[in-house]
């Protein structure tokens, strides 16, 4: 099954921001495109808006004048659904209400031919449910574009329970012919991206609700240590707190209130207060004229130790040994058992967080980093009873490596580590349930939400038991089930352990 021929007309129903974006993608790819909106005049306005964007593409040398003129000639607005009768593909981008979408597709089915591919751009509803009332449900598929559709490359091609594999293949090949990077997935709450991405928001909110750190500090640690493009609080302000909370609530309800997807009370209160983010002028941050953006908590300068003793293998943090030497701090290696650790001259110990609480006056945890050399900030955590001077020595050591240091409360798994571990866990669970392949999950998370690594790439880097062990420890301290490792992650870690056992 191949992509739709470029001579085949494509229709877009619903002419808001997303509908216009999808129409522009199909138009620039070379298709005749027809716009329809139930509100009189909206389709014509959308056609004018798309024409203006084509003009800007010419100004940026992304289209020639001739290509723009040809595209405009292929774009028409339709006054009724009847004008879509000969279309080979109709993509819906109307309001996220099941009854509205079902009614629309029933009406479309009375107009278009049985070989017309019908697609929904829904991000939160069941593709199976939307297409469930159709006479020919096999030609119905999800085509989930990401906003802005002309710029973001990812498209999730979602097969409902009744979707014909040939229809999904045609949708996939058509999206690829349009210059997009499609991934295939089964019809599951949140599909791939909105399912696997929930912990990025949830863990930041959990750390905040536990009063371990403020939003600005959590965001800075996620960016400057975790390598994420934006922190969770600034990203939800950009998305809209109401939109992000609605997706979280929808996924939670669709999974029968599974604890792993539990919404945040703090975010609920923010939405109830009308602080929806950038669009309302206030969210976690204040965007009103003259408002000052709060900075992250950063520890004052401290003295670096003259030497450190490194016992055992630091695992994901092994790169620190070379960085410490390059900073002029003597490293005295020693054999050790179990997880590696850095020992300061006064006997205090630094360890990469493992999901346990520090729980000792002689122990400081440091957070995971995507790349310890490139990281510009490191988070430290210690118990309230930590021995005086130990936290200062740990701070001075990381400052000697050129890092800003943020000291956060003693929350299990800290910030980056617990976030990455939970993303890995949900990714393994999704693959085990047949939602998507590991390769498609990694592609979706890199392109859909700009993660620095896909979950399976993270897992290969960190080790096959790392996420399982860290989440198991967090679950001991927070036994709500939200951080309990999935069966899929347990199985994967057990298989790795068996492979590593001498015969």
Instruction: List residues with catalytic annotation.
Output: 123, 144, 156, 194
148 cis-preceded (ω within 30 degrees of 0): yes
Q: Report the C-alpha gap between 487 and 469 in whole angstroms.
A: 13
Per-residue 3-state assignment (H helix, E strand, C coil) for 209-257: HCCCCCHHHHHHHHHHCCCCCCCHHHHHHHHCHHHHHHHHHHHHHHCCC
Q: Report the C-alpha gap between 86 and 431 in whole angstroms.
A: 38
Q: Report the C-alpha gap between 392 and 28 in whole angstroms.
A: 58
Phi, psi (deg, nearest 5) at residue 153 = -80, -20
DSSP strands (E only) in 290-362: 307-311, 330-334, 341-343, 349-352
Phi, psi (deg, nearest 5) at residue 329 = -95, 125
Long-range contacts of 357-366 (CB under 8 A, 24+ apart): 357/383, 357/410, 357/412, 357/477, 358/382, 358/383, 358/386, 358/410, 359/383, 361/385, 361/386, 361/387, 361/390, 362/386, 362/387, 362/390, 364/390, 364/391, 364/394, 365/410, 365/414, 366/317, 366/394, 366/398
Q: Report the C-alpha gap between 250 and 247 in whole angstroms.
A: 5
Phi, psi (deg, nearest 5) at residue 145 = -85, 160
Scan for tokens 């179990």, then name that residue: 338
First-residue to last-residue Cα distance in the chain: 48
Strands 363-366 and 349-352: parallel
What are the C-alpha distances in Å from 313 to residues 316, 340, 367? Answer: 9, 5, 16
**Which has the closest alpha carbon to 242: 208, 209, 215, 268?**
268
Q: In what order do the strands lie in the sheet with 377-382?
A: 330-334, 307-311, 341-343, 349-352, 363-366, 377-382, 404-408
Q: Which helix (H) or strand (E) holds 144?
A: strand 140-145
Total residue count of the chain as it appears in this document: 503
Q: Report the C-alpha gap between 158 and 175 in whole angstroms.
A: 12
Q: Answer for the pair 380, 411: CB distance below 8 angstroms, yes or no.
A: no
Tokens of 288: 């009103």
């Amino acid at each position: 099954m191949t992509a739709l021929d470029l001579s085949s007309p494509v229709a877009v129903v619903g002419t808001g921001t997303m509908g216009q974006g999808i129409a522009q993608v199909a138009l620039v790819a070379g298709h005749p495109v027809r716009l329809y909106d139930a509100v009189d005049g909206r389709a014509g306005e959308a056609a004018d808006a798309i024409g203006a964007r084509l003009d800007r593409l010419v100004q940026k040398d992304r289209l020639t004048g001739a290509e723009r003129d040809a595209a405009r000639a292929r774009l028409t607005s339709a006054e009724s659904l009847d004008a879509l009768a000969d279309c080979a593909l109709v993509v819906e981008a109307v309001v996220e209400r099941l009854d509205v979408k079902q009614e629309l597709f029933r009406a479309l089915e009375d107009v278009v031919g049985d070989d017309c591919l019908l697609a929904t751009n829904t991000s939160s509803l069941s593709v199976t449910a939307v297409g469930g009332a159709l006479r020919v449900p096999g030609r119905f598929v999800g085509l989930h574009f990401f906003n802005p559709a002309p710029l973001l490359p990812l498209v999730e091609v979602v097969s409902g329970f009744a979707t014909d594999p040939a229809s999904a293949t045609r949708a996939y090949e058509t999206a690829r012919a349009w210059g997009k990077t499609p991934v295939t997935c089964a019809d599951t709450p949140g599909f791939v991206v909105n399912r696997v991405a929930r912990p990025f928001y949830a863990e930041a909110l959990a750390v905040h609700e536990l009063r371990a750190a403020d939003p600005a500090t959590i965001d800075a640690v996620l960016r400057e240590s975790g390598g994420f493009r934006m922190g969770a609080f600034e990203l939800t302000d950009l998305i809209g707190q109401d939109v992000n909370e609605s997706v979280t609530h929808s996924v939670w309800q669709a999974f029968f209130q599974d604890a792993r997807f539990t919404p945040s009370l703090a975010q609920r209160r923010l939405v109830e207060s009308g602080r929806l983010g950038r669009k309302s002028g206030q969210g976690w941050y204040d965007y009103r004229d003259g408002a000052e953006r709060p900075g992250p908590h950063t520890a004052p300068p401290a003295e670096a130790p003259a030497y450190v003793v490194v016992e055992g293998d630091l695992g994901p943090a092994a790169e620190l040994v070379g960085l410490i030497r390059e900073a002029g701090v003597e490293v005295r290696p020693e054999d050790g058992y179990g997880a590696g650790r850095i020992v300061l001259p006064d006997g205090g110990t630094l360890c990469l967080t493992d999901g346990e609480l520090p729980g000792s006056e002689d122990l400081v945890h440091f957070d995971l980093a995507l790349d310890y050399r490139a990281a510009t900030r490191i988070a430290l955590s210690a118990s309230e009873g930590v021995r005086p001077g130990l936290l200062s020595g740990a701070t001075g050591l990381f400052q000697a490596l050129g890092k800003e240091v943020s000291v956060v409360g003693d929350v299990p798994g800290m910030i980056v580590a617990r976030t990455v571990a939970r993303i890995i866990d949900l990714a393994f669970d999704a693959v085990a349930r047949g939602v998507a392949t590991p390769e498609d999950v990694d592609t979706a998370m890199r392109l859909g939400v700009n993660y620095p690594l896909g979950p399976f790439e993270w897992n290969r880097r960190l080790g096959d038991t790392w996420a399982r062990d860290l989440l198991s420890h967090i679950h001991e301290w927070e036994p709500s089930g939200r951080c309990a490792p999935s069966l899929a992650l347990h199985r994967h870690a057990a298989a790795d352990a068996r492979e590593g056992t001498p015969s």
